Chain A
Amino acid sequence: MSKKILDIRELKREFQMGSETVRALKGISFEVEAGEFVTIMGSSGSGKTTLLNILGCLDKPSIGDYFLDGVDVKKLSRDELAQLRNRKIGFVFQAYNLLPRTSALENVELPLLYNREISVSERRDRAIHALEAVKLAERLDHTPSQLSGGQQQRVAIARALVNEPVMILADEATGNLDSRTSYEIMSLMQELNSQQGKTIVFVTHEPDIASFSSRTIQLRDGRIQKDTRNTDQRSAKEVLAGLPITDDY
């Protein structure tokens, strides 16, 4: 259980904006082990987005090392990074980013299309399985416009699960949802974390959401301000049950 999924050492990231150098990350080190549910918090300008891009292998650090599941990201080319994302990371975005006019099943199949080792029938089976895991087994043929926001985000989570990544990387995944639906999503995340042992890194600025995770990393001005284990992890399921039932959808 103590396998290191993320291993970040003295990570720095600088951007050249004209003649000025913007130092977004000023030296960050932390490790995430398999099965952890980490939230990364911070106000805007704290370097949260930059860190997320690097964690998601969309960007590379200027200085410092980043090992994702033992792979040194720094040495990889653009195409190799794409392949790494395909095999090891499942993204969940704030705006869902589902393909319009495309069924839930096909949206979930999408990452597998870029994995040439997976056959057509296996692709379909795994997509159906992933949709079952997010409790959307009856909505396979629905297009995003026929689904509610929460359902769309669940399709997106299924898409993140389908390639069996080592880490689910969520970027403000509840940012577009009302609190009830947010709790539903968090409940699903907790379930995936506890029952299936999925490692989850969840970027958010809401302390309420962070309280559902097992660990919170607080960023401020490009440095880690606080890295705390959450001893008092709340259960989203219970919170959900405690909510007054006002609207019945």
Chain B
Amino acid sequence: MNFFNLIRIAYKALQRNKLRAFLTMLGIIIGVASVIAMVAIGQGSKQSIHDQLSSMGSNMITVLPSSNLNGGVRIAGSSFQTLTQKDIVALKKAQYITELSPSITSKGQAINGALNWPTTIQGVSPDYLDIRKLSLKDGIAFTEDDILTSAKVCLIGQTVIDNLFPNGENPIGKVIRFNKIPFQIIGILNPKGQNAFGQDQDDILIAPYTTIQKRILATIYYQNIYASAASEQVTDAAVSEMTQILRDSHRLRDSEDNDFTVRTQAELINTLSSTSGLLTVLLTVIAGISLVIGGIGIMNIMYVSVTERTREIGLRMSIGARGKDIMLQFLMEAILISITGGIIGVVLGIVSSNLVTLTLSWPTIVSESSVLLSFVVCAITGIFFGYYPAQKAARLDPIEALRYE
């Protein structure tokens, strides 16, 4: 008996009891559909977190001043002043870094005529826009010349525009005041929305760092240094290179701890992804359990079917079916049920994932691996749960089976 015959025989047998075959399939259909949909939702949320973090610049490296022992007392990093112009000059020689920007921020009140809005002004170099993947909707960015002259120019975020220019006038060229210092608006930032932590990334003014240092804060220190690694792959190399440069620049002895911290986005991405990865695993386990239940349903029905069709088995044996042929027939029936159920389940899973995206606007990603996996699991389920009933059928004695009432 060849393979094609086998499928034909199994298909015909199932066709004789369509409703039962379908009901048996239902367990598998629901199991597979839920695996696909659950994994799609899990992957979707993982991807959206990743995308959001990447939109901040996935190869971004941040240097923060960190606490250090100072006469036995640890001092909070943010109040510690270690990053200076000297560090920037030293870091410019680093080979794995393509862009570099100091950063210094100040909170204050932005004022336009009678309107005012509490916001943050951030002083950076022109590289900063590239590092953070920021772009301008309108106007121009400031240049190195503006840095040198500590020019009173700024880029403005959408939230600040909404509050200071509520009537829709074009803010470019307008002068607003921030902590009594007038700033001319030269560019408008494209809105970025909230970041992964719910902070409004558009509630900001961006100006040359020298301007903030000299005209607002009167300090020579930076709060952060931002840099871009040449690519995401060399981020680790860039981090160790920067660490070494900064240690040299700060004249730290080998026994001394770093007085700064170098962070990458990868760490953050990993942390958040692993949380959502855990969610995916949990959902998959639940869906997997329903697949097993579907499999038990198949086993149950196959047992009933073997008993019910004892005479048929006896007849098939008497006209020349070997135990192996009977076994393969019942196994094939179980596999046909599970595979057909699997196909319908995959389709249903994809449809319901899309429905979730459409109605709830949750991002979903139907991954090929989850489709493939549920398919393989289905086939295995069919073989595993179909095996014992099939074996029972194959071991029947044809004489007794023929006389079975």
A147 within 8 A of B: no
CA distance A78 to B8 in the complex (A): 25
Pick the interface stretch among A28-36, A92-100, A237-245: A92-100
Taking a contact as CB atoms closer than 8 A, the residue among B5, B321, B398 that contacts A58 in the complex is: B398
Do B318 and A58 touch across chains, with their CB atoms under 8 A apart?
A: yes
CB–CB B320/A83 < 8 A: yes
Say yes or no: B320 contacts A82, CB within 8 Å: yes
Query: In the complex, what residues of A have CB within 8 A of residue B8's CB?
Result: 113
The B interface is mostly helix, strand or loop, or mixed, namely: helix
Instruction: Select from chain B the residue with minimum beta-carbon distance to A86.
Output: B320
Which residue of chain A has its CB nearest to the CB of B6? A113
Q: Taking CB as reference atom, which chain B residue is nearest A99? A: B312
Whether B398 contacts A110 by the Cβ 8 Å rule is: no
Cβ distance A129 to chain B, nearest Cβ, rounded Å: 17
Interface flag for A3 (CB, 8 Å)? no
Partner-binding segment picked from B159-167, B211-219, B322-330? B322-330
Known contacts A114-B325, A116-B1; A59/B320 CB under 8 A: no
Residues from chain B with Cβ under 8 Å of A99 in the complex: 16, 312, 315
Question: In residues 273-328 of chain B, which contact A (Cβ within 8 Å)?
Answer: 311-312, 314-325
Q: Choose from A53, A59, A85, A100 the contact partner of B319 (Cβ within 8 Å).
A: A85
Residue count of chain B within 8 Å CB distance of chain A: 24
Which A residues are in CB contact (< 8 Å) with B323?
78-79, 82
Q: Is B269 an interface residue (CB 8 A)?
A: no
Interface positions, chain A 64-103, Cβ under 8 Å from B, are 78-79, 82-83, 85-87, 91, 93, 97, 99-102
A102 CB to nearest chain B CB (Å): 7
Please give the distance in Å from B377's CB to the nearest CB on chain A.
Answer: 31
Chain A residues near B316 (CB-CB < 8 A): 110, 114
A85 to B398, CA, bound (A): 12
Shortest distance from the beta carbon of A143 to any chain B beta carbon, whole Å: 10
Specify which chain A residues have a CB less than 8 angstroms from the CB of B2 in the assembled complex: 116
| Proximity string of chain B (4-30) to chain A, C-beta cutoff 8 Å, 1 when within and 0 when not | 010011001000100000000000000
Q: Point out the residues of chain A lying under 8 angstroms from B319, CB to CB.
A: 85-86, 91, 110-111, 114, 159, 163
Q: Is A115 interfacial (CB-CB < 8 Å)?
A: yes
**A93→B402 CA distance, assembly (Å):** 9
A159 surroundings in chain B (CB, below 8 A): 319
Do residues A85 and B318 form an inter-chain contact, with CB atoms below 8 A?
yes
- Quick one: given A53-B399, A82-B317, are A113 and B9 in contact (CB under 8 Å)? yes
Chain A contact residue count (CB 8 A cutoff): 27
Q: Among the interface residues A87, A106, A113, A115, which one has the most CB atoms of the partner chain B within 10 A?
A: A113
C-alpha gap A100/B320 in the complex (Å): 19
Shortest CB-to-CB span from B37 to chain A, Å, is: 36
Judged by a CB distance under 8 angstroms, whether A56 is at the interface is: yes
- Tell me the smallest distance from the CB of A88 to a CB of chain B, in Å: 10
B12 touches A106 (CB 8 A): yes
Residues on A with beta carbons closer than 8 Å to the beta carbon of B5: 113
Chain B contacts of A58 at CB under 8 A? 317-318, 398-399, 402
Nearest chain B CB to A115's CB is how many angstroms away?
7
On chain B, the residues within 8 Å of A87 by CB distance are: 320
Set of chain A residues within 8 Å of B320, measured between Cβ atoms: 82-83, 85-87, 111, 114-115, 163
Question: Which residues of B lie under 8 Å from residue A82 when comparing CB positions?
Answer: 317, 320-323, 325
Instruction: Give the chain B neighbours of A86 by CB distance below 8 A.
Output: 319-321
Interchain CA distance A87-B398 in the complex, whole Å? 17
A24 CB → nearest B CB, Å: 12
In the docked arrangement, what's the CA distance between A118 and B140, Å? 82
A97 close to B311 (CB less than 8 A): yes
Enumerate chain A residues within 8 angstroms of B314, measured Cβ to Cβ: 97
Per-residue contact bits, chain A 140-181, to B (CB 8 Å; 1 contact, 0 not): 000000000000000000010001000000000000000000
Q: How many Å lie between the Cα of A116 and that of B2 in the bound state?
A: 7
Q: Which residues of A contact B318 (CB under 8 A)?
A: 56, 58, 85, 91
* Closest residue on chain B to residue A59 by CB atoms: B399
> What residue of chain A has the Cβ atom nearest to residue B8's Cβ?
A113
Complex Cα gap A82–B2 (Å): 16
Specify which chain B residues have a CB less than 8 angstroms from the CB of A111 in the assembled complex.
319-320
Additional pairs, 14, CB under 8 Å, beyond known A86-B319, A99-B16, A163-B319: A58-B399, A79-B323, A79-B324, A82-B321, A97-B315, A99-B315, A106-B12, A113-B8, A113-B9, A114-B1, A114-B319, A116-B1, A159-B319, A163-B320
**Contacts from A to B (Cβ < 8 Å):** 53, 56, 58-59, 78-79, 82-83, 85-87, 91, 93, 97, 99-102, 106, 110-111, 113-116, 159, 163
Jot down 14 A-B pairs with beta carbons below 8 A, ordered by A.
A58-B402, A82-B317, A85-B318, A85-B320, A86-B320, A91-B318, A97-B312, A99-B16, A99-B312, A100-B16, A106-B12, A113-B8, A114-B1, A114-B325
| Closest A-B pairs by Cβ, 9 of them | A86-B320, A114-B320, A82-B322, A111-B319, A79-B322, A97-B315, A101-B16, A85-B320, A58-B398
